Structure 1
């Protein structure tokens, strides 16, 4: 049996890159400890299975040293004010998959002579966040009155996403890599990202964040599209300091877009207990209590000490994350890949312009019957 010469330190690097410890993999690879010590060598088949288990391209394991993996988009994430240095494989693979979908849709838009999305790159960080927020509300028809008619955060987020898609944005919300439910996306690593493009603007939202947090992330990433910039973000509603002026600006736009100060002041009751006010205003604006708190601070209704105390209490209630998985398979698939993208891809495939193999991979399906059912769900003629 032929063994493969592989550097032990590359095996250790690949395992740690995937966030796995030795004991998690020993059940599948009993000789892994000996491989990592250089005492034994794996077969090619064993090495292929190991590469799949740690989500690393097989070719990386034949390099003389681990590659320096760089994020393909600007990284605006921070932890305690410091930049995050190493992207995880789930994050990298998610960005690469979205870039593939975006590239496909851009070519589709060009070939079908679809117009550019005019608001992409229409603003600068020198523009007033209030003015840009008004433009966003006009573009998406997402007024307070329309939100009042939504029964909760989930319906409001669905309506918000639908309006963004109707305006030309590919909105993808998922808590896993592709359709692999074993590869969960960690909201502590990132909340979302934007891929700016005048023909195929794309926003990805981490579906393992809370539903209310996704509302703010979607608004924040859309603000990046207004600037015409791609970016990876982890900033929530907190009015915290950042070294990135662009992130501060996008947060201000998102906050004003979701909770305009003029409307907040009209709805706010000075005599109402703060806890009751947070619940009531959250239901009106369809945002989390964290966003309401931030806007009350912006409006001068809370001093910093009272804000910090209330923020700590509210944060304790948001420890439980909610996943976007489960539910109806077809609806979940549409949410993960963007209804606009799915519809275009299925039309192109049925017309013979795109291979079924490629369509199946990008949609995350494996059967023709499933593909056809998805097509009928979005109104594509078979």
Structure 2
């Protein structure tokens, strides 16, 4: 029936929804709808109406509630670039449709978490860690490491990178940060992203990063950006006025601090004493072996060695070229099959999932609302509860790596 019933949508809202979703060109949307671009533009001009089924498809493409299309005028909302930190190479307002959806979903989850916490009478942990660009990256890394409460002894006992990733994620969440994962975004556009919104700031990690060690490094990198934002050393993308050269200095600072958090100075010195090698003579294999001790990526280890004076910039760049060539030859890794509950837990995170389920159990929200918050079908809620009973320190490899 929906195939022939015209939907009395508001033309201006249709155009607004397309542009807000990141589709300046109507061609990709029209292709997914199976219509010509001229027809889509005719709907946006009010010259004709889509069918109800076509409107439902548009709602899925734009990641909007169908009811939005029937509003009398386009809704007002803050620019998306006022929600996230500056990303290298990304012009505010020109994000890909996939990245725009990811940011919107993370914003919606954050707002839901604040609302549900108030409903339940909870106070969300307050993120308090600050960092300044005038400080030594080593000092900031030492301070953040202390705040995360992960001991050197505990790190040495981790069995694999996935156990390390889960523990680092838990430690960051304990600081009052929601850690979400987002799918379908090209790694070249964003490996990670920060929503420096206080309270309840958010760090997002790209699920296309299949290496757990790389996720851990990106997590710490984004944590540094949050600490800089809290100290007013950094602003959201819409208001950031730094030149590209200055911004690269910020990125380098975040890289060095992240590596210092994951590879603390005492542990590094002990490892270097056991492997006495002259500066700039470590090849890919040697750095790889050293990285394995800390459950980090070779690139993170090379960054740390450069900051520690074990690599000159020339030596580091030479090593980096060798590493890039090595990575280019690796076959693409295939992610395992994830159940809907596993995928939800990986993307939404334990604190958010637990908050939603507690609100459901307390009759603060309906099962329908819980499923909407978690992007999960009702019959999978109990399986999600079972997944939550497995501690974050589990050694098994998570299956939330695919899209």
TM-score with structure 2 length normalisation?
0.73
Counterpart in 2 of 1:77? 87
Whether contact under 8 Å (2:126, 2:176) holds in the other structure is no
Q: For residue 37 of structure 1, report the CA deviation from its aligned partner.
A: 8.9
2 CA distance for matches of 1:123 and 1:143?
Answer: 21
- CA change 1:15–1:132 in 2 (3 A) is closer
Structure 1 residue 132 corresponds to structure 2 residue 143:
no
What aligned pairs does 1:169-180 form with structure 2 within 5 A after superposition? 169-175=177-183
Counterpart in 1 of 2:361? 350
The more displaced of 44-53 and 336-345 is: 44-53
1 CA distance for matches of 2:182 and 2:28?
Answer: 29
1:149 to 154, 157, 181: 157
The more displaced of 134-143 and 358-367 is: 134-143
Q: For residue 152 of structure 1, report the CA deviation from its aligned partner.
A: 2.4
- CA change 1:281–1:143 in 2 (3 A) is farther
1:309 to 312, 315, 318: 318
Q: For residue 283 of structure 1, report the CA deviation from its aligned partner.
A: 0.1
Structure 1 residue 290 corresponds to structure 2 residue 294:
no
Unaligned runs of 5+ in 2: 238-243, 391-403
Q: Indicate the SS of the match to 1:71.
A: helix
How big is each residue's C-alpha offset from its partner over 1:87-116, in whole Å with a ceiling of 9 and x where there is no partner?
122222222222222122223434555456
- CA change 1:358–1:16 in 2 (3 A) is closer
Counterpart in 1 of 2:347? 336
Q: For residue 292 of structure 1, report the CA deviation from its aligned partner.
A: 1.6
1 CA distance for matches of 2:72 and 2:31?
Answer: 22
Unaligned runs of 5+ in 1: 176-183, 234-239
1 CA distance for matches of 2:313 and 2:374?
Answer: 47
How big is each residue's C-alpha offset from its partner over 1:120-173, in whole Å with a ceiling of 9 and x where there is no partner?
254444444323322222222334432332222222111211222344432222
Counterpart in 2 of 1:43? 50
Counterpart in 2 of 1:29? 34
Q: For residue 22 of structure 1, report the CA deviation from its aligned partner.
A: 4.5
Give the length in aligned residue pairs: 360
- CA change 1:186–1:231 in 2 (3 A) is farther
Q: For residue 337 of structure 1, report the CA deviation from its aligned partner.
A: 0.7
Counterpart in 2 of 1:180? none
- CA change 1:146–1:318 in 2 (3 A) is farther
What aligned pairs does 1:76-115 form with structure 2 within 5 A after superposition? 76-79=86-89, 83=91, 86-112=94-120, 114-115=122-123
The more displaced of 279-288 and 222-231 is: 222-231
2 CA distance for matches of 1:96 and 1:71?
Answer: 11
Q: For residue 267 of structure 1, report the CA deviation from its aligned partner.
A: 1.7
- CA change 1:17–1:321 in 2 (3 A) is farther
What aligned pairs does 1:1-382 form with structure 2 within 5 A after superposition? 17-18=22-23, 22=27, 26=31, 28-32=33-37, 43-45=50-52, 47-49=54-56, 51-52=58-59, 54-55=61-62, 59=69, 70-79=80-89, 83=91, 86-112=94-120, 114-115=122-123, 117-175=125-183, 184-196=184-196, 199-211=199-211, 212-229=213-230, 242-243=246-247, 246-268=250-272, 269-270=276-277, 273-318=282-327, 326-367=337-378, 369-379=379-389
Q: CA RMSD in A?
A: 4.1
